[in-house]
A = this chain, B = another copy of it.
Amino acid sequence: MAKSGKSQFAILGMLGLLKKSSGYDLKKHMESSTQYFWKETFSSIYPVLEDLEKQKLIVKVESPTKNDRKRNVYTLTSKGKSVLEHWLIQPAESMQIRNELMLKLFFGTMVPINITIEHLEQQKKEFKKKLSTYQEIKHELSEIPSSESLYSLITLDHGIKQVMASLEWCDSAIKTLKSVKK
């Protein structure tokens, strides 16, 4: 029942940035910012929030505005802040990566070469779409410089460079496979 994974820290961190938020808003914010390297679902957010409250890392501050909608709004406690900071200064653990596309390519000998080329063309399209999304966001972020957008830009740049590298790789892999085909 007690969640003790990384989700905790993702939520703690978002709460640290937003100062004050409901589970619902937390999710919305992550969707428009961290979604390409970190996602949470409602089914993890609400239980984690409950758990963090039990641990006294966050507290409920019932919606302060007049228009009272039944929202549970939370803030970090000082204990929560220090737990978050402690986690932040630890070096990041590299997480297990499972890349299904790579797995399928690795098994490429077992299917006609055209299938593999198709997979790559398909991926190329998706990478291109991603890239333009990222570049759009980057453009928007660049217009309102702040210390927070600084870090958003840095993480976003990582996404952009990764995708660009993937695109180049797609092209060279397609080229290689086409030359083998002949």
Contacts and interface: CB of A to CB of B under 8 A. Distances in A.
Interface of A: 6, 9-10, 13, 16-17, 33-34, 36-39, 84-85, 87-89, 91-111, 115, 119, 122-123, 126, 147-148, 150-152, 154-155, 157-158, 161-162, 164-166, 168-169, 172-173, 176-177, 180
* A contacts with B: majority SS: helix
Contact of A95 (B9, B98, B177): B98
A156 to B, nearest CB: 9
B95 A147 contact: no
A123 B84 contact: no
A151 B98 contact: no
Contacts of A16: 107, 110
A13 B103 CA distance: 8
